[in-house]
Amino acid sequence: MLDILAYTFMQKALITGIAIGAACSMLGLFLVLKRYSLFGDALSHVALSGVAIGLFLNIYPLWTALLTSVTASLGITRLRHRIQGDALIAVLLIFGVAFAVLLISASGGFKVDLFSYLFGSITLISNEDALTAVIASLAIVASVLALKDKLFYMALDERQAKISGLNTMLLNYIFMIMASIMVIVAMRLVGILLVSSLIVLPNIAAMMLGRGFKATMLISLSISLASVISGIITSYYLNVATSGMIVMICIGIMVSIMVSKHLNTKRADALKSS
């Protein structure tokens, strides 16, 4: 069955996918805990306008996307105390799409290129892109590992963290820049429209299972990697879109955890009452 692993494009897709999946789930845990679950969506839609700028000006679109999403994330960090979080996310989301549509129409309509950004194209990724994605993902994983205790403290209680001597402002900026880089990298795997999936789904599922912080992080990582690997392989055999497959598998895992947890609680209740 695993003869497909002999294909270079498949090896490349799997290695890149695993790196991106790991980074998304690990950084994503803190986004979910900070109640920024939709933050990835906002950034990716702003990144869409960045892609449009790149296509319009004939610059490599990932660079312009990175520039716009980093700018947006720094803006969010600055404004988050003045405008309420979900409203801010909505504004960025709308702005990103509107501006992108304007630029795309001005440049003569949709091109095939754009679809790969919208829905991801991990199996078509170039060597350079794959390498950049892997390096960026590993850098994010390493940073999260180094900062995980501090980020966790801030997610739990930012004011306490500040009293304890943590430079919360600097940490927030670092965190947001990491998140915007992660969104651009994840775009290659699942596309702009599904970026939030890898950030949110494995973590929500893991939070249902893991009791403590470290266990939750590990479970989330396993769910993310399982979805990415099985999604890439099955999508090849079924000849369907990889991004959709990865996300559907992830949702499948989450729903099964929910259902089995529910059944377990019911069984325990029944045992108690009998």
Partner 1 sequence: MKDMAILKVRDLNVRYGSTSILENVSMDVEHGDIFGILGPNGAGKTTLFNSILMLQEHEGNVSIFGYSNNARRHVLPFIGYLPQRFSVDHNFPATVEDLIYTGLISVRYMQKNAHLLERNGYRWSYNPRLSNRERIDEVLRMVGLEHARGKRIGMLSGGELQRALIAKILVSRPLMLILDEPFTALDQDAQTRLLNILNTLNEEMGVTIILAAHDLMLLMKLAKHIACIDRRIFFHGSKAECMASDLLRLYSEHAMHMHMREHKEISTAGHVDSSISSSSSRSSSSNNSSRSTGY
Residue 191: left if φ>0, alpha if ψ -120 to 50, beta else—which one? Answer: left
Q: Which is nearer to partner 1, 90 or 166 (CB)?
A: 166
Angle at 87 between CA 32 and CA 99, to 5 degrees: 105
- Shortest distance, CB of residue 170 to partner 1, whole angstroms? 14
Is 208 a binding residue for partner 1 by CB under 8 A? The answer is: yes
Distance, in Å, from the CA atom of 6 to the CA atom of 134, rounded to the nearest integer, reads 20
| Of 97 and 147, CB closest to partner 1 | 147
109 binds partner 1 (CB under 8 A): no
Which CB atom, from 142 or from 258, has the smaller least distance to partner 1?
A: 258
State yes or no: residue 251 binds partner 1 (CB under 8 A).
no
Residue with tokens 């249902």: 208
The residue from 16, 196, 216, 243 that contacts partner 1 (CB under 8 A) is: 216
Contact map string, positions 131 to 170, toward partner 1, x by CB under 8 A: ------------------xx-xx--xx-xxxxxxxx----
Residue with tokens 């929910």: 258
Contacts with partner 1, 53-92, as mask; x by CB under 8 A: ----------------------------------------
Long-range contacts of residues 205-213, Cβ cutoff 8 Å, at least 24 apart: 205/250, 205/253, 205/254, 205/257, 205/258, 206/25, 206/29, 207/32, 208/257, 208/258, 208/261, 209/257, 209/261, 213/152
Give the whole-angstrom CA distance, residue 136 versus residue 141: 9
User: Which residues of this chain interact with partner 1, rule CB under 8 A?
Assistant: 29, 33, 149-150, 152-153, 156-157, 159-166, 206-208, 210-216
